[in-house]
Amino acid sequence: MEFDSLVLETFLRDQGKLFSEPVAETEEEAEEFLQDCMACVLDTIDDVREYLDELGMDVTGMSDEELEEASEVFPISDGRYLVLEG
C-alpha cells in the first residue's frame, strides 16, 4: 500500500500517541515503517470498527470517539483513518 502525503504527515505529527520515541522523521521513513507494520487507511469509523473487530480487538460497546482515541487509530483531517495493526 502506498500512503499519500496527508497520511504520512498525520503519522509523523501524531506518532507520539503510540510510541514513546519517534519511529520516523521523514515521509520516506514513515512510509517504510507503515508498510512494514501493514498499516491501512480506512474511509470511515465504521470501517475502522469492522477492521479492528476482524483483528480480534473487542470493540463492542466502544463509541466512535473511543475508537478514534485508540492508540493505533490516527484520524486524518480529510475524514479517513490510518490504522496500525496491534
Among residues 72, 60, 86, which one has the least CA distance to residue 15? 72
Q: What is the pLDDT of residue 86?
A: 59
State the virtual CA torsion across 30, 62, 86, 38 in degrees, nearest 10.
-50
* Domains of the chain, residue spans: 5-83
Query: Is the model's pLDDT at 28 over the cut of 80?
Result: yes
Residues 6+ apart with CB under 8 A from 79: 43, 44
**31-77 residue pLDDT tens:** 999 999 999 999 999 999 999 999 999 999 999 999 999 999 999 99
